[in-house]
Each structure stands twice: as C-alpha cells, then as structure tokens.
Structure 1
Amino acid sequence: MTDGADTAAPDCRTVLERLHAHYGPLHWWPAETAFEVMVGAVLTQNTAWSNVERALAALREADALTPAGMAALEPEELAERIRPSGYYNVKAGRLRHLLAFLERTGGIEALSALETGALREALLEVKGIGPETADDIVLYAFHRPVFVVDAYTRRLFERLGRPHARDGYETLRASVEAELGADTVAFNELHALIVEHGKQRCRPRPLCDGCPLGDRCYGVVTG
C-alpha cells in the first residue's frame, strides 16, 4: 500500500493484467446453459456464491434448470429448492417473473437476436432485476460487451483512486466500458477477478501484504 501522493490511478487494462497474473484465468460464470446463468444471477443477490451452488444443485436434482422444468414446480417447491440462497420466497417470485418474461418474449433464442442495449432494457423491465443482475445476464448468458459493477468494484476502484468510484451505477459502468472498448472477454475476466480479489484480499479490512495492486493503492477507504 502506498500513501498515494505520487500515484496515478491505474487504468482498467493494468488492473486486469495484474489481477490475471496473480489469480490466473477464472473462466466465470460457472454454468452449463444461458438459463442457468439467468437463474444464478437472481439467486446470487445478497448472498455468497456457495449458497447459490447449493440452490442450483437442488434445482438440478428436480430437473428444474430449464424454463419448462422450473415452470412445472409448484411455487412452494420452487421456494424450498432455493432456500439455501436466502430470501427464498422473494427470489422464487423473481424467478417466476423471469419465466413469464421468457415466455412473453419468445425465450432465450429470441432474446439473443436483440441488440445489446435493447436486451438490457428488456431485462430491466422484469420485476426484481436491477442493473447489476441485468448486466450479469447480458454479459455471461448472452456474451455481450457490458461491464458488471458490484460492491467489490466500488471498493477496489475507490482504494485505487480511480475516477467515478462513488458515482452512480451507469456512470461507473460506462467509464470502464469506455476504457476497454467492446471487449466481452476483458469485461468477463475483469469482473470475475475483481470479485476474487475482493474475497481474498480487498476486504473491508484488507489483507495488503503481497497485494498485486499494492503499489497503486491509496489505502483503506472509510465510509
């Protein structure tokens, strides 16, 4: 960690390269189908991924990781299957809204034909899907060049002294996309690596010794 007096904030490509050299490729998002990514994006709201994995396993056991399979579940069983993810009644409702959206719009194949901006706007109309969840889906299920902003991103960028770290979601997202261009692979890896770094090192109380970005960091940010 540096005092930041003579340290310029690193650009996104530098952050990506350093984290990649430290953690290696992460190949995120772990899923077999686009629908599984969509379900996981809803389930991961306000919980750890390990809890999502348990919920997905329970859905897989019931052959409910397809739109038709999930729609066949009674609401109570759907909620019980996803109980490990927390807020399971709320998330069950959100999944049912997602199913209705897919049926109304013609399914994943029809959504794949939409331009990226239109796809994102359509997802944001679904009850329970906010910008972060929508961008998870657009990036990881449909492989479109959008960047996902989360709490790990804000914490790291603020400590690195990067611009827009405390700005609104759309402003911060647009700033990263402007730096990296329409690079889906870069957005995928950068988001995954920031999450991994946030879990391992850049915590609320960070583990700074040996940090791959330590020489570019302004230190712990409060508030």
Structure 2
Amino acid sequence: MFINLIEIYETLKKEYTIPEGWWPGENQFEIMLGALLTQNTNWNNVVKSLENIKNKNLLYPEKLYVLDIEELQKLIKPSGFFKVKAKYVKNLLEWFKKYDFSFEKLEKIDKITLRNELLSVKGIGKETADSILLYSLNKLSFVIDAYTKRMFSRLGLNIKSDYDAYQKFFEENLPENIMIYKNYHGLIVEHSKNICKKKPLCENCIFKDLCKYNKGA
C-alpha cells in the first residue's frame, strides 16, 4: 500500500496542537540528558529526575561529569533503572568531554560521524542516538520508536519491521526539513498515546477510512 507521509503529517497537524519542535527542554544539554533518561519509562518520571538535577544547580555537563555516581543515582531515581542509567549518563559525558562539552563543536561534525560515535557509547541505542541528533543537535535523523512502527504498520506500510528500514522509508520520503522531522515524530507520539494505542480507538481515528487495521485487512 502506498503511504503518503506528507498527507499523513498534514492531517496530524490539523488534529493535534504541539509546541514547535515538540521535545521539551530549556537547553541542548537538558534535551540530550532527557533523551537518555526516557529509556523504558514515561516522560513524567524523566521530568522529576531533571527537576532534581536543576534544584541542585547541576544541569551542566561539566558538573555532572565530576558528580559522584551514587549522588547521580539518587537524583535520577524517579526515571527508573537508576543505577544502570547513571552509568550510561557517565558514559555519555565521557564521550562529550572529548568535545570539551561544547555543543558548538558537536554541531560542526557531520551526522553520520556523530551517530556512529553515539552508538559506540554503551547505553546509547539507535532511538536514543537519533533523539539526541535531531532534538539536541539539529541533525536530520528521523526517530523511530514503537509508536511509529505500530501506527504505520496498521496503516498498511509493508516494509521490514526493523529500525533501519523504517528510518530509511521516512528519510527517503520526507523533505529535508528539521522542523518537519521534529514535529512529525511528536505528532506520531501524540496520536499513538491518544488513539492508536495497543488497544486502538479506531472509531475516533482521523485515519479510520485509510487504515488497513480498522478495515480488518
């Protein structure tokens, strides 16, 4: 089945109101850190962890780098798996230190190099790496998650159900526009949380006339 990504994007935009750029965060480092902490938890728990860090005036890569790991564990405990995630945060900061904790330096490096480096950091998978690249570093790297696969497989997208295949499809069929990339992923998340759930609310869906799942195909 042919999937027109731009038509779907425009339909989602009419249905949902999201902030431009979607991902919340006061600065690039908060977005980077949030992208890691959101692994295997909901965003509200991440917010609590980030607030703990802010309340201690520690939302700076240089400060978290030297912070005792046990103290870091306490601060990020609300986001779950806090002992493992504290190690992952330290791993990410060790990588970032090579660039003197400078986002300006990171932004001068090409996407492929950065992505490969991020994926070499223990604790950083494809979704986390692409979230950092897109939302923190403004690189054109479309984020794929379980919501994306569920929604588009139901719509009838017939491609291999793995991360790389989905990302390739989106990046080959979308204009190279950073805000479309950012907002599209956010709109998919909103639609999947509200309508295209594990048990979908098909009767209320803006795509019910298009969706193969709703038609019982």
TM-score by length of 2: 0.93
1:220 positional shift: 6.2
**Map of 1:5 onto structure 2:** none
| Greater RCO (Cα-Cα under 8 Å, separation 6 or more) | 1
Structure 1 consecutive aligned stretches of length 4 or more whose deviation exceeds 4 Å: none
SS at match of 1:26: coil
1:105 positional shift: 3.0
> Is 1:115–2:115 an aligned residue pair?
no
> Is 1:58–2:43 an aligned residue pair?
no
**Map of 1:69 onto structure 2:** 63
Aligned equivalents of 1:77 and 1:147: distance in 2?
Answer: 34
SS at match of 1:216: coil
Amino acid in structure 1 at the alignment position of 2:126? P
Q: Where does 1:189-200 land on structure 2 (aligned, <5 Å)?
A: 189-200=183-194
Aligned Cα RMSD in Å?
Answer: 1.5
* Residue range with higher mean Cα deviation, 80-89 or 117-126: 117-126
1:168 positional shift: 2.1
Aligned equivalents of 1:175 and 1:199: distance in 2?
Answer: 23
2:96 to 94, 99, 102: 102
2:208/2:214 contact within 8 Å kept: no
Aligned equivalents of 1:211 and 1:15: distance in 2?
Answer: 12
Change (3 A) 1:220 1:210: closer
Gaps of 5+ in 2: none
- Same amino acid, percent of matched pairs: 38
* Residue range with higher mean Cα deviation, 37-46 or 105-114: 105-114
Amino acid in structure 1 at the alignment position of 2:123? G
1:22 positional shift: 0.3
> Is 1:171–2:169 an aligned residue pair?
no
1:35/1:66 contact within 8 Å kept: yes
Aligned equivalents of 1:184 and 1:167: distance in 2?
Answer: 24
1:130 to 125, 129, 134: 125
Cα distance per residue 1:23-79 (max 9 Å; x no partner):
023331111111111100110001101111111111111112111221242111100
2:142/2:181 contact within 8 Å kept: yes
* Residue range with higher mean Cα deviation, 51-60 or 116-125: 116-125
Gaps of 5+ in 1: 1-7
TM-score by length of 1: 0.91
**Map of 1:48 onto structure 2:** 42
> Is 1:19–2:2 an aligned residue pair?
no
